Chains A and B, each alone.
Chain A
Amino acid sequence: MQESALVLAFTLISTGNPDLFEIIGLSLRVSIVSVFFSLLLGLSLGASLAVSRFRGRQVLTILINSMMSLPPVVVGLLVYLALSRSGPLGWLGLLYTPTAMIIAQTLLITPLVAALSRQVIEDLFVEYKEQFQSLRLTQSQQINALLWDSRYSLLTVALAGLGRSLSEVGAVIIVGGNIDHLTRVMTTAIALETSKGDLPLALALGLILLTMALMINALLATINFSAKRQAYA
């Protein structure tokens, strides 16, 4: 079966199968936008936690670390209940749209980004704290300096978020509905083909998804590597 999956994957791509590219496009769009918002929310939260000293900081840190283990299907269910027509945010009409999928994934990935970035930035902050105090930097100046200086570690955090997003199926299938030409992404398509018993096609899609992830990581690694050679010791 593996050989036929490989052949099938190659054929789908080389013939420019429009359904396939539609699904790939939506996967990328949902994942990249989710990761973007997760970075926005997660990095600012993680950096604030790393640098501020307020009561309840410990509790909040534990909470965010625990939320990394949120099961996607649970998040999907909660977002569905919120966005359902009979739910509190039903009037937005967002259920079964890519926006709903982006919301669900952002909720999933933000804790991951926040927890990891907090650790990265906190480790760096230990080294920098006295110097920052001597220079009389404001907290936001400190955060900006820390974020920039830990940029390579944070890039890995972003890739972890992207990985989780591209591979996620439990949440997007509930809030998106896996509707053909509307909310079908790579992972939900794989689930669908598996349930139809078309395992070679499911496997082929899986191979394509893996290749996408590989290409993205390779691309970012080359940028990473050449930039590092210039800027780092």
Chain B
Amino acid sequence: MKSLFHKAIALSLFSILVSTTSLSHAKKSTVLVQSTTSTANSGFYDYLLPHFEQQSGITVNVVAVGTGQAIRNARNCDADVLLVHAKSAEDAFVADGFGDTRFELMYNDFVIIGPSSDPASIRGINNVQLALQKIADVSALFASRGDDSGTHKKEVSLWRQTKVDIDQAGRSWYRSTGSGMGATINTAIGLGAYTITDRATWISFKNKSDYEIVLEGDPELFNQYGVILVSANKCPSVSSEAGQQFIDWLLSDHAQSLIGQFSIDGQQLFYPNAD
């Protein structure tokens, strides 16, 4: 009988409404940050946020997804602050009016990791394009994130500077995983493939197997992180005050110094460079 079903729907909707209203009354000040897995997985936020929360009383909630998804979520107004590492996408975000200003926050670098057997003999090469060319020449397996993230965009731009056609290569040695950094590293290790990763993720990664950094230091591998407050013009629901307070704090000397002190196994993960 339909009316029984209708009663069930009514009861469910009512309960949802009740739970919604009770939530909004209990809300304290919060900031919603869309950020990347490579930032979050290293433990960066677990380390840094308690300092801010204690001082300001504001809770910071971080949604860590791929860069592409983070930016899309922010464009949907599902964020107060955007913290990613994809400069051109971030500039477009601001240019389209979704963000007020982009601030440089910190940097680190990308590295190429590979099995200790180093099938393409990359070790010792200082130039990343040469290394990638060598991988293509011997058809050594290479795992790509393939997910439009900051890391992926950097990787693609590096391939473009070589003569390699990675679309073609996708049929043989170039493996596009369409996943986050951690999943891609797991896959790379499982396949015995090379891959590009940001240093922070690699240092904090717990399943290194026999893998090592085989190439680092090329200036092309510079990785800049930027932070943007989502614009209240495009997104009226944004917590602008709290968000701005958070960004101001991140750019402050105190926070910058904390960022510089964040290390794992004695290795620094991020280098603060706010103006």
Contacts and interface: CB of A to CB of B under 8 A. Distances in A.
Contact of B207 (A103, A106, A179, A197): A197
B63 to A, nearest CB: 4
Contacts of B169: none
B267 interface: no
Contact of B20 (A40, A99, A178): A99
B12 A180 contact: no
A190 B185 CA distance: 16
Contacts of B183: 194-195
Q: Which of A44, A194, A201 has the most CB of B within 10 A?
A: A44
Interface string B25-49: 0000000100001000100011000
B163 interface: no
A84 B235 CA distance: 12
Interface residues on A, range: 35 or more
Contacts, number: 103
Contact of B1 (A52, A180, A182): A52
A197 B78 contact: no
Nearest to A54: B2
Interface string A21-39: 0000000000000000100
Contacts of B76: 84-87
B1 A48 contact: yes
Nearest to B73: A84
Interface residues of B, number: 43
Interface in A45-102: 45, 47-48, 51-52, 84-87, 90, 92-97, 99
B157 interface: no
A119 to B, nearest CB: 17
Given A85-B78, A96-B63, A99-B20, A47 B4 contact: yes
B181 A195 contact: yes
B168 interface: no
Interface in A143-163: 143
Contacts of B24: 93
B15 interface: yes
Q: Which of A177, A178, A196 has the most CB of B within 10 A?
A: A196
Nearest to B62: A179
B67 to A, nearest CB: 15
Given A85-B77, A140-B4, A196-B204, A99 B62 contact: no
Contacts of A143: 1, 4
Contacts of B61: 96, 177, 179, 182
A180 B62 contact: yes
Contact of A44 (B4, B16, B65, B204): B4
A85 B72 CA distance: 12
A178 B63 contact: yes
B177 to A, nearest CB: 12
B264 to A, nearest CB: 12
A92 B20 contact: yes
Interface of B: 1-2, 4-5, 7-9, 11-12, 15-16, 19-20, 23-24, 32, 37, 41, 45-46, 61-65, 73, 75-78, 180-183, 185-186, 204-208, 235, 237
Given A52-B2, A194-B186, A196-B41, 15 more contacts: A41-B5, A90-B237, A92-B20, A93-B24, A94-B20, A96-B63, A96-B78, A140-B4, A177-B61, A178-B64, A180-B62, A182-B61, A195-B182, A196-B182, A196-B206
Q: Across chains A and B, which 10 residue pairs bring their CB atoms closest together, nearest first? A: A195-B182, A197-B207, A85-B77, A177-B63, A198-B206, A197-B205, A86-B76, A197-B206, A44-B5, A44-B4
20 contacts: A40-B8, A40-B12, A44-B7, A84-B76, A85-B235, A85-B237, A87-B76, A90-B77, A90-B237, A93-B237, A94-B20, A97-B23, A180-B62, A192-B41, A195-B41, A195-B180, A195-B183, A195-B186, A197-B182, A201-B206
